[in-house]
Amino acid sequence: MTQILDKVNEPQDLKGLSMEELDTLSAEIRALLIHKINATGGHFGPNLGFIEPTVALHYVFNTPQDKFVFDVSHQCYTHKILTGRKQYFTNPAKYHEISGYTNPQESAHDTFVIGHTSTAPSLAVGLAKARDLQGKTGNVIAIIGDGSLSGGEALEGLDAAAELNSNLIILVNDNEMCIAPDHGGLYKNLALLRQTRGQAECNFFKALGLDYKYVENGNDVRSLIAAFQQVKDVTRPTVVHIHTLKGKGCPQAEANKEAFHWVMPGVLDEKKNHAPAAETYASLTQRHLIEKRKQDPSVIVISPATPGAYGLTPDVRAQLGAGYTDVGIAEEHAVAYASGLAAGGAKPVLQVLSSFVQRTYDQLSQDLALNKNPATLLIHWGGISAGDATHLGIFDIPLISNIPNMVYLAPTGRAEYLAMLDWAMAQKQYPVAIRVPFTDVAETGLPVDKDYAVLNKYQVAEQGREIAVLGLGNFFSLGKSVCGEIHRTLGITPTLINPRYMTGLDKPLLEELKKTHRLVITLEDGVLDGGFGEKVAAFYGNSTMKVLTYGAHKEFTDRVPLEELYRRFRLTKEQIAQDVHDYLK
C-alpha cells in the first residue's frame, strides 16, 4: 500500500502534508525503489540514502522556478517520482522507458542531462549568474555527493561560487563514501566536520569564503526542512552539509555500500544455485597485475574511484597493498600522477572507463604524451553499447589515437591482450594505452607477438584476394564472420587483417593491398568520425581503392538496444556482405 504516494503526483502535492505523512511518504518511496531497482538494476545505495533530502527539498523549494542541479544525477530517482514520473517506477511495463539520470526532455523539473561527476557547482554558478544578469529571482541549488567533491571541476566551481555574492545553495550530501571508500584530504576535513557537528575551526568551505550550515541527521525530514527553510532565498553562496546513510533502509546495502552503489537486476533475490563466476577481462587483468606486483615492487595500479567496474575488488586491493592508489573522482590527476610515477621510475597502470577518460584529454596530451613517460593505461568498457547517453564508450579511439607519442593498442583475445600488457609495462619509450576487450574472454588462435616496439605493424590473419577486412579489436570476430559471409554469398575469400594499432597505419601493407585488392573494409567498435577507419580511407583517398568504413554514427544514443544499433550502423555480417555485393555489382 502506498497511501501517501498515491496522492503525490507533483511537488505541490507535498506542501500540505504533515511531518508524519512526509515520513510515511519517504518509507513508501524507499520500499518502491528497493523493489524497482532490484527488478531493473541501477543505482541502489545513492538513491536510498537521498530520499528524505529530496522530499525536504521539494517541500521547501518550488521547482522548476527554483533550480535543482544534481551532480552525476544518479541519486535523482526520488526527484523523478515526485515530479510527475511516478508511473515509471510503479508500472513494470514502463520501467525501461525512463533515463536513470536527469533529463530536461523528460520534465521541466530537470535542469541538465548529467551523468558525469563534479559538475554541479560550475553549472549552478552559471545558472545563478544568468539569473542575476537578467534581474530574475529564484533559488539555485547544487546537489553534490558520493565523492564528487574530489573532482577538479567541483573545486573550480566552489572557488568561483565564493565570488558570486548572490543566491546559491550547495547541498553537500556526505554519506562517508565515494563509489568505493572516499580518499583525500578534503574527506578528512568532512570527517572532522561530522565529528564536531560542523563546529571545527578548520572548515574547507568557510576557507573558500562560503557560508556554512551542518545537519547531522541528513535522513530526518524535520531537520532537513528546518535547515532548508533557513537558507531559502539567501543572498550569499551557502553550503548545507548533510550527513546521510548510503543504502539506508536495505540491510545488505548498508552493510556493503561499495557493492550496492550500482547493482544488476535480482541482486536481492535468493539464488539457490551459485555457479562459479566466469572469467572476465576484469578478473584476468587484476590477477595478472597481482602477479606482476609480486615480481616488481615498482608496479602500482591506479583507479579514479571506480575500482569495482573493472574487478579491483576489496580483496584485490588488499593484495596489491601499497601498489594500489584510489585517487578518488579525479581522472585528470590520475593521468598526471601516472606520468609522474613513470618519470620517477615506477610502473604505473591506470585503469579507467572509456566514458571517463574523456575528462583527461589535456593531461593525456600535455602531462603524459608530450613528455613520453611510459605509463600504461587500460581503457575499459570501450565499445558500442545500449548504455545511457552520458556513459557511452565510443569516443576513446578518436580521443587517444590522435595524440602524438601515444600508442593505443587493440587486442583481439586473451593471449594477445596479456602480451600487450606485459610489453607496455616493460618498455620505456612510449605512453601506452590498451583498449581492454569488451567481449567474453576468448582466444583467436592468432600468433601472438611479445614485442610491439615496431609500431603500426598489422597482422594478416588470413590471406585472400580482392577484398581486405580490417577487424579492429572487439570487432575482429565480426571481421571473421564478415569474411565467411562474403565467401558464402559471393565466392570470394577476403583477406582478414588484425590491425592491433589504433594510433597509426601500416603503410607498407596498405600499399601492398593495392596490387591485389580493390576494396578495403574497416570495422571499429566506436565512433567513425576521427576514428580508425577514417585514417585508412584518407590513406587511399588519391587511389582507386574503395574503402567502406563501419562503426558508430556520431550521435548520443540513449538506452538503445545493442542489436538495434548494430542494424542502424549496418554492423551485421549480412548487411556488410550486401554492401560488398552492391559495390561489386
| Residue 546, domain member (yes or no) | yes
* 161 and 34 in a common domain: yes
Cβ–Cβ under 8 Å, residues 310 and 285: yes
Give the torsion sign (CA, 497, 500, 502, 504): negative
| Residue 444, domain member (yes or no) | no
**Which of 435, 468, 488 is at the close of a domain?**
435
| Residue 569, domain member (yes or no) | yes
* 398 and 472 in a common domain: no
The residue type of 241 is H
Strand order in the sheet with 432-435: 324-326, 299-303, 347-353, 376-380, 432-435, 407-409
Nearest of 181, 193, 112 to residue 150 by alpha carbon? 181
Alpha-carbon gap, residue 330 to 470, rounded angstroms: 36
* 485 and 405 in a common domain: no
Q: Map residue 315 onto helix, strand or coil.
A: helix
* 478 and 369 in a common domain: no
What is the per-residue pLDDT for 272? Answer: 47
* 302 and 196 in a common domain: no
* 95 and 66 in a common domain: yes
CA angle 462, 570, 41 (to 5 degrees): 105
Q: Which three cell numbers stand for residue 25?
A: 511518504
Q: Which residues of the chain have pLDDT under 50?
A: 272
pLDDT digits (tens, 9 = 90+) for 572-581: 999 999 999 9
Cβ–Cβ under 8 Å, residues 441 and 503: no
Provide the CATH number for the domain around residue 533: 3.40.50.920
* 343 and 211 in a common domain: no
**Which of 218, 234, 263 is at the close of a domain?**
263
* 217 and 131 in a common domain: yes
Q: Which three cell numbers stand for residue 398?
A: 578518436
* 171 DSSP β-pair partners: 143, 240
| Residue 159, domain member (yes or no) | yes
Residue where the block lists cell 522507458: 97
* 403 and 548 in a common domain: no
The residue type of 87 is Q
Q: Which three cell numbers stand for residue 396?
A: 576513446
**Which of 435, 469, 504 is at the close of a domain?**
435
Total tally of structural domains belonging to the chain: 3
Nearest of 414, 469, 498 to residue 580 by alpha carbon? 469
* 263 DSSP β-pair partners: 42
State the SS3 of 434-468.
Answer: EECCCCCCCCCCCCCCCCCCCCCCCEEEECCCEEE
pLDDT digits (tens, 9 = 90+) for 515-529: 999 999 999 999 999
Cβ–Cβ under 8 Å, residues 73 and 103: no
| Residue 443, domain member (yes or no) | no
Alpha-carbon gap, residue 578 to 482, rounded angstroms: 10
What is the per-residue pLDDT for 271? Answer: 60
Neighbours of 264 (CB within 10 A): 9
The DSSP secondary-structure symbol of 181 reads B
Domain range for 347 is 281-435
| Residue 445, domain member (yes or no) | no
DSSP 51-91: HHHHHHHHHHS-TTTSEEEESS-TT-HHHHHHTT-THHHH-
Spatial CB neighbours of 488, under 8 Å, sequence gap ≥ 6: none
* 369 and 225 in a common domain: no
Provide the CATH number for the domain around residue 101: 3.40.50.970
Alpha-carbon gap, residue 390 to 379, rounded angstroms: 17
Give the torsion sign (CA, 218, 222, 226, 231): positive
Alpha-carbon gap, residue 233 to 470, rounded angstroms: 60
Cβ–Cβ under 8 Å, residues 237 and 158: no
The residue type of 404 is P
| Residue 440, domain member (yes or no) | no
Q: Which three cell numbers stand for residue 397?
A: 579511439
Cβ–Cβ under 8 Å, residues 561 and 467: no
Residue where the block lists cell 555485393: 581
| Residue 273, domain member (yes or no) | no
Spatial CB neighbours of 195, under 8 Å, sequence gap ≥ 6: none
* 429 and 563 in a common domain: no
Alpha-carbon gap, residue 260 to 255, rounded angstroms: 9
What is the per-residue pLDDT for 275? Answer: 62
* 429 and 490 in a common domain: no
